[in-house]
């Protein structure tokens, strides 16, 4: 997914307190993103969000200092519509649902297969790049926000199905 020189580089922020998981995610995604910035918690990530624009944010939910849900809410309060992919421990579905209701784009569990991580982050980056490039076009911008909301809802429906299957 390398861009030609006139286009802005794609930029991903990975927010995860476990250095090994951060390294693994970076390894999975480095060939699909031009620039990857890492932060060990929401508080550290905020400093990056205030100074740079990202196409996507991949964030753990459970972290010290500022968890992923507070971080997501704060980013939204700044008016940033950056697509958020939340990373959750296996089985932590209520937190993932909460993140989706706050406007997260998608969720992946920490034990997800590499292919699924890449697909989720790449589709979030695609939407994030389109949203960034259409900022000055209200019609296009509204259209993309609707697509984003619909995709977020389908992630929520997928998660609710998983929860239903587990409770049956």
CATH 3.40.250.10 fits 11-167, yes or no: no
- Give pTM, 2 decimals: 0.86
DSSP annotation of 2 reads P
Contact status, residue 120 vs residue 85, Cβ threshold 8 Å? yes
DSSP 4-67: PTTSPPPEEEEE-S-HHHHHHHHHHHTTT-SEEEEESSHHHHHHHHHH---SEEEEESS-SSS-
Beta-sheet pairing, 106-109 with 56-60: unpaired
Domain residue limits, the chain: 11-167
The band of 7, judged by pLDDT with boundaries at 50, 70 and 90, is low
Q: Over the range 38-73, which residues count as b (16 or more CB within 10 Å of their CB) and which as e?
A: bbbbbbbbbebbeeeebbbbbbbbebeebbbbbbbe
Report the side by side order of strands in the sheet with 84-88: 35-39, 11-15, 56-60, 84-88, 106-109
Q: Which two tokens stand for residue 101?
A: 């209701």
> Distance between CA 72 and CA 110 in Å, rounded?
18
For residue range 66-90, list pLDDT tens digits in order: 899 999 999 988 888 899 999 988 7
What is the distance between the alpha carbons of residues 82 and 77, in angstroms, rounded to a whole number?
12
**pLDDT tens-place string over residues 27-56:** 999 999 999 999 999 999 999 999 999 999
């Amino acid at each position: 997914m390398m861009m030609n020189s006139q286009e802005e580089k794609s930029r991903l922020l990975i927010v995860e307190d476990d250095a090994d998981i951060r390294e693994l995610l970076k390894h999975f995604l480095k060939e699909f993103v031009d620039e990857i910035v890492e932060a060990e918690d929401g508080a550290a990530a905020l400093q990056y969000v205030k100074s740079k624009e990202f196409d996507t944010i991949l964030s753990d939910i459970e972290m010290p200092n500022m968890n992923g849900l507070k971080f997501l809410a704060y980013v939204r309060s700044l008016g940033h519509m950056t697509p958020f992919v939340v990373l959750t421990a296996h089985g932590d579905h209520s937190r993932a649902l909460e993140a989706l209701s706050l406007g997260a784009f998608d969720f992946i569990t920490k034990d997800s297969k590499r292919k699924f991580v890449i697909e989720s982050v790449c589709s979030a980056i695609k939407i994030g790049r389109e949203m960034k490039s259409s900022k000055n076009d209200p019609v296009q911008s509204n259209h993309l926000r609707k697509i984003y909301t619909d995709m977020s809802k389908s992630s929520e429906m997928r998660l609710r199905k998983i929860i239903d299957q587990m409770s049956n």
